[in-house]
């Protein structure tokens, strides 16, 4: 079941456009925010290399993360 982020208007409750509908939305908690104004959680979009992920952070945008930079609830 997709996870809804309560503080983001229009939270992703299904796969983003262009993604298969079977893709699960995975929110993770960031250990450090990329900006003082960004959220402390991110959506993992895809794994781009071993231990490297492309993620989307509300009020920041896309960024690359390693598993050391986030925790999964």
What's the rounded Cα separation, in Å, for the pair 32 and 24? Answer: 24
- List pLDDT tens digits, range 45-70: 999 999 999 999 999 999 999 999 99
| More confident site: 72 or 9 | 72
Provide the number of structural domains found in the chain. Answer: 1
55 belongs to a structural domain:
yes
To the question of pTM greater than 0.85 for the whole model, the response is no
In a domain, 8, yes or no: no
Measured CA to CA, the distance from residue 6 to residue 51 in angstroms comes to 28
Tell me, what's the pLDDT at 23? 63
Domain that holds residue 60: 26-71
- For 22-44, what is each residue's pLDDT tens digit? 667 899 999 999 999 999 999 99
67 three-class SS: helix
Residue 13 lies in a domain: no
pLDDT band of residue 19 (cuts 50, 70, 90) is low
On whether residue 64 sits in a domain, the answer given is yes
């Amino acid at each position: 079941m997709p996870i809804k982020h309560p503080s983001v208007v229009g939270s992703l409750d299904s796969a983003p456009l262009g993604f298969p509908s079977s893709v699960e939305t995975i929110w993770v908690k960031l250990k450090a925010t990329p900006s003082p104004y960004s959220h402390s959680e991110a959506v993992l979009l895809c794994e781009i290399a071993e231990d490297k992920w492309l993620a989307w952070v509300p009020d920041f945008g896309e960024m690359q993360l390693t598993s050391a930079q986030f925790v999964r609830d």
